[in-house]
Amino acid sequence: MTDVTIAMLRAFCDAVEQRDGRAFAELFTAGGVYHDVFYGAFAGREKIAAMIDDWFYRTATDFRWDMHEPVSDGTTLYARYTFSYRSTLPEANGARAMFEGVAIMTLKDGKIAGYREVANTAPAFVDLNFAPERIAKIVAKQGAELKSRPEMQRHLA
């Protein structure tokens, strides 16, 4: 893995941990899109910055994000990650939620043109003391979104 790629991934994680949406958004192309596993798609630098500054920190604090074992062919970058935060939701009682996933980035001219992720979110919901009914509702929504992706249609037939 190149030093440039490692530096980009560290800047990516640092920007989230430091609540620096502007620095985070600058890692993306002008028309870049971040597809968040919880909140959906954010297109363009302004909305990507707002996702970090407003959405991520709306109900959480003390973020930690690390990328592991990155692999890239120059146009696509994959990295396994660990991600955690301290929830400010009342039912969480200040608990730290942690999960792991895989980041999938499309690269263009040294910037991120598209980001999406596959993550095991269920343990985080248990960490946050969510009621089983709430977890079931969230998982069902994520399943429906996954099934709506065109690349999944062949697997659903």
Which residue, 134, 122, 46, 42, is CA-closest to 90?
A: 134
| The token pair that represents 87 in the structure block | 């929830």
pLDDT at 64 over 90: yes
pLDDT at 6: 94
CA 116 to CA 43: how far, in whole Å?
12
- Its domain, for residue 27, covers 3-156
pTM of the model: 0.84
> What would the pLDDT profile of 103-130 be if each residue is shown by its tens digit?
999 999 999 999 999 988 777 777 787 7
C-alpha distances out from residue 91 to 61, 85, 134, 142, Å: 15, 15, 12, 21
Q: Which CATH number does the domain housing residue 66 bear? A: 3.10.450.50
* pLDDT, tens digit (0-9, with 9 covering 90-100), for 34-51: 999 888 899 999 999 999
Domains held by the chain: number = 1
By CB neighbour count within 10 A (0-12 exposed, 13-18 middle, 19+ buried), where does 112 fall? buried
